[in-house]
Amino acid sequence: MLAVVHSSPQKNGNLERMVVRTAEATGYDYRLIRLADLKIGACNGCIRCAHGKRCVQQDDMAPLYNELESAVGLIMGGVNYNGRVNATAHLFLERLYPLYHRNPAFRDKPAAVVAVGGEAPDPAASDIIEYLRDIYFFRIIGTALFTSDNPPCLTCGYGATCPVGIPALHWTREDCEALKHGHGSRFRCFENDPETARACERLGTTLRKSIG
């Protein structure tokens, strides 16, 4: 079984559809874990997980330890919020700590990383990669990234009129005008971008080969 974890609160958003596309391409059975549906608290720093390799907190992270330990590989997806991976992903990554001590459960386990950003998916991807690889010894086998052109400023109501919004700061005057007139052309779906769709499929195939 493959573990497929993502941190977007958007059900069936670009990120969720991308991790699913990647998982399907592996040919493995998988379980989709939507972190935003779970109650996962921050590490309380007690380090009692060093003995027994489980967290003392009985929240929604508790049942995931066995599942992640026995998974043949991981697909992890994250979104860029404020120039880094969102807090939902961070909490999950922090709470993997019980599986780290002495004989790390994830050493050399293959992991594929998927990320979406309104303007830049890269910071979310690199935060996840550094965490998985440098702390938990996962073997990162590749990434699939997508720029959705869907900043929060498209839904907040102020749009291009907000002086610190992404449209005012980074878009052309024409794109801002189009936004004022309710143009939806900037809402992008990864399926309409053949290169991103192919990247997900390639990532899934590479993951399958890495699992062997």
Ligand X SMILES: Cc1cc2nc3c(=O)[nH]c(=O)nc-3n(C[C@H](O)[C@H](O)[C@H](O)COP(=O)(O)O)c2cc1C
How many Å is the Cα radius of gyration of the chain?
A: 18
Q: Which two tokens stand for residue 118?
A: 């309104």
Report if residue 10 touches ligand X, rule: CB under 6 A.
yes
Single residue of 58, 82, 103, 185 touching ligand X by CB under 6 A: 82
CB of 209: closest distance to ligand X in angstroms? 27
Of 57, 88, 148, 196, the one binding ligand X by CB under 6 A? 148
Phi, psi of 12 (to 5 degrees): 60, 25
Q: Closer CB to ligand X, residue 118 or residue 142?
A: 118
Handedness of CA 192, 193, 195, 197 (dihedral sign): negative
- 94: exposed, middle or buried (C-beta count within 10 Å: 0-12, 13-18, 19+)? middle
State both tokens at 69.
């330990």
Residue 62 CB, shortest distance to ligand X, in Å, is 26
Residue with the CB atom nearest ligand X in the bound state: 13
Q: Which residue from 120, 162, 168, 176 is in contact with ligand X, where contact means CB under 6 A?
A: 120
**Residues in touch with ligand X (CB under 6 A):** 8, 10, 13-15, 79-83, 116-120, 148, 150-152
